[in-house]
Amino acid sequence: QVQLVESGGGLVQAGGSLRLSCAASGRIFNIYVMGWFRQAPGQEREFVAAINWSGGPTYTSDSVKGRFTISRDNSKNTLYLQMDSLKPEDTAVYYCAARTSPGVRKSEGDYGYWGQGTQVTVSS
């Protein structure tokens, strides 16, 4: 089992920044990929960014490319999402997810472990 706990959400004005964190615990050695997804009210959960837990290239959605940066600190078993130039349309609950098979995927069904989510609200 893998446990994931997000933190860092909140209320920010448009143009501002937030950094989300996701602390992983449990069978961390089973993790191949970690990612961030988000779900706005009335919408489906969508892929935001992902990274191989061992390092390598990162993957971000077109909607956040150039504004959001995913990173990880293996020494702290923590995943991050640095969000800059935030827009009202970034308002959503943000979820951290872990995949225990190799290969980055952008579908939520390919991730077996999820955090409880953290709310990000961007005011105009």
Rounded distance between C-alpha atoms, residue 22 and residue 74, angstroms: 12
Q: Would you give the distance in Å from CA 31 to the centre of its chain?
A: 15
> For residue 122, what pLDDT band results from cuts at 50, 70 and 90?
very high
Rounded distance between C-alpha atoms, residue 68 and residue 105, angstroms: 18
pLDDT surpassing 90 at residue 6: yes
Contact of 15 with 22, CB cutoff 8 Å? no
Q: Give the tens place of pLDDT for each residue, 38-92.
A: 999 999 999 999 999 988 889 999 999 999 999 999 999 999 999 999 999 999 9
Strand-pair category, 118-123 with 10-13: parallel
